[in-house]
Amino acid sequence: MKIKKYVLLMLCIALLSVSVVGCTGATEKVTEVDNNKIVIWTWDDTFNVKAARMAAVEYQKVHPDVQIVVEPKEREEILADTKNILSARVYSKLPDIIMSEDYDVQEVLSVYENEFVDLTDQVCYDKFADYKNQLCSKDERMYGIPFDSGTAALFYRIDILNQAGYSEEDMQNLTWERYIEIGRDVYRKTGIPMLTLDPTDFPLIRIIMQSCGQWYVDKENGQVEIQNNEALKQALEVYRELLETDVGVSVNGWNEFISSFQNGEVATVISGSWIISSIKASKEQAGLWRVAPIPIMKQNANAVGASNVGGSSWYVLKNSSCSQEATQFLVSMFSENDDFIDSLISEIGIIPAVKNPTVFQNYEAKEAFFGEQQVTKLLTGLADEIPAVNYGSNTYEIEDILEDEFQHVLVDGDVEECLKRVQMKAEAVVSEKSTRKLKKSKL
């Protein structure tokens, strides 16, 4: 009797085990279906976010079973959240795709290289600009798909400048001295400053510095190069003059920056080509805007009227829940689909980071919003003139120090002493980061 009960018990356990295995299989299948959802983190509703949502619509025409969710987040939030999740290895919290700004990516790849999908053999990188490919790579492997060029330009309101007696011809081949001279006159006659300046963000410093072929670090070794950086010194002096002469007006953060030109509170915007979508968001200003090259720093022998600010690429997180489908989506829409990229030229004003933009029909299109200028052709031509620099992996850390120290310049006017202090503090920060990275690699 005991033997029969024992056999019966073993049979029940066996049946229960089969049942559990079957349930587990069913649960995994359901989970797989539920996880057929690509989550994308990016920023800027009128540019990157809009592009991702347009790509989702196109992709779902062929893949209706795939759900694509675009979650807008600030650039800094994406970077911080991704780092925190990867450090903690809480992969269930990861998005599938993130956008990374070009200034940030080398640091992320150096620390979390094994956390991103290797796209080397899945994307034809010959079509993309060499400098973008370099930023997307680590140890000769490719991890990102280049998206936009951050070609800098001078965007200006021709109606406001006309009120002060200036024409389109007056805005060509400008030096910074001439730009400030015009700005002072425009402010005197209209009460409208030329541009915004954010003391918590220094994109204009970056634009001027790169137009002269220099960066916060040297090109060869990526070592901190602040104290004897002539281009940086000249950029800070221009920045100070813009503030002191009312040519520039201070704003705080992205929203104030955007609203200033959308509300007609400034006459010009000096920014990357990605700002076009935000300019065009004010449809009532159609026809009032024009585009020209940035002013040149005439005191610098290496200066040109072309630079870069921002620019970004797409990356897939290897350990996300839907990385395989996300890779297929990203490659098919942002690498292989020229018709889709062409549509982004007209929809958001993207300057594609490619070697041959003439493959796009909208390349030579005239833009009514900008007085029938061929904006894409103009900005692409400027992109070819941008000096190459080494962004390194500490751009924002160094810039944080610079922003703090520059406040002293506004009081005592001593730019050279400011740069000396920044050099010392930046070297300490970079050294500390290198030490932490070395310790982590030994764990």
What is the rounded distance in angstroms from the CA atom of residue 162 to the CA atom of residue 418?
39
Q: What is the pLDDT of residue 16?
A: 38
Our CA angle for 274, 153, 392, nearest 5°, is 70
Check whether 10 has a pLDDT greater than 80: no
Are 134 and 156 in the same domain?
no
Check whether 181 has a pLDDT greater than 80: yes
Phi and psi at residue 324, in whole multiples of 5°?
A: -65, -50
Q: What is the pLDDT of residue 31?
A: 36
Are 229 and 198 in the same domain?
yes
Residue 79 lies in a domain: yes
How many structural domains compose the chain? 2
What is the rounded distance in angstroms from the CA atom of residue 316 to the CA atom of residue 308?
25
Over residues 197-217, the pLDDT tens digits come to 998 899 999 999 999 999 999
Average pLDDT over residues 44-66: 97
Are 329 and 235 in the same domain?
no
Are 197 and 284 in the same domain?
yes
Over residues 381-438, the pLDDT tens digits come to 999 899 999 999 899 999 999 999 999 998 888 999 999 999 999 999 988 877 766 5
Q: What are residue 308's DSSP bridge partners?
A: 151
Residue 47 lies in a domain: yes
Over residues 77-112, the pLDDT tens digits come to 999 999 999 999 999 999 999 999 999 999 899 899
Specify the 3-state DSSP secondary structure of 175: strand
Phi and psi at residue 217, in whole multiples of 5°?
A: -130, 160
Are 187 and 239 in the same domain?
yes
- Antiparallel, parallel or unpaired: β 67-72 and 37-42: parallel
Are 301 and 338 in the same domain?
no
What is the rounded distance in angstroms from the CA atom of residue 197 to the CA atom of residue 213?
22
Are 143 and 163 in the same domain?
no
> Which of 21-25, 154-158, 180-184, 248-252 is least confident?
21-25
Are 346 and 391 in the same domain?
no
Residue 375 lies in a domain: no
Residue 125 lies in a domain: yes
- Antiparallel, parallel or unpaired: β 97-101 and 37-42: parallel
Ranges assigned E (strand) in 179-237: 195-197
Task: State the pTM of this model.
Answer: 0.88
Contact 349, 276 (CB under 8 A): yes
Residue 254 lies in a domain: yes
- Antiparallel, parallel or unpaired: β 195-197 and 248-250: parallel
Q: What is the pLDDT of residue 146?
A: 97
Are 207 and 160 in the same domain?
yes
Average predicted confidence (pLDDT) for the chain: 91
Q: Tokens for 61?
A: 């025409």
Contact 101, 318 (CB under 8 A): no
Q: Tokens for 373?
A: 């200028």
Burial 289-301 (b: 16+ CB within 10 A, else e): bbbbbbbbbebbe
Q: pLDDT class for 256, splitting at 50, 70, 90?
A: very high
Q: What is the pLDDT of residue 440?
A: 60
Q: Within a 13 Å sphere around the CA of 170, how many CA atoms are in the beta-carbon half?
A: 17
Check whether 25 has a pLDDT greater than 90: no
Are 166 and 244 in the same domain?
yes
Are 125 and 250 in the same domain?
no
Q: What is the pLDDT of residue 437?
A: 64
Range of the domain at 46: 36-149+312-355
CATH assignment at residue 79: 3.40.190.10
Q: What is the pLDDT of residue 11?
A: 42
Are 269 and 351 in the same domain?
no
Sheet containing strand 152-157, edge to edge, reads 268-272, 152-157, 289-292
Q: What is the pLDDT of residue 433?
A: 77
Check whether 70 has a pLDDT greater than 70: yes
Check whether 443 has a pLDDT greater than 70: no
Q: In percent, how much of the chain has pLDDT > 70?
A: 90
**Residue 22 CB coordination number (10 Å):** 10
Residue 110 lies in a domain: yes
Over residues 149-159, the pLDDT tens digits come to 999 999 999 99
Residue 1 lies in a domain: no
Q: Tokens for 130?
A: 């060499």
Residue 28 lies in a domain: no
Contact 208, 237 (CB under 8 A): no
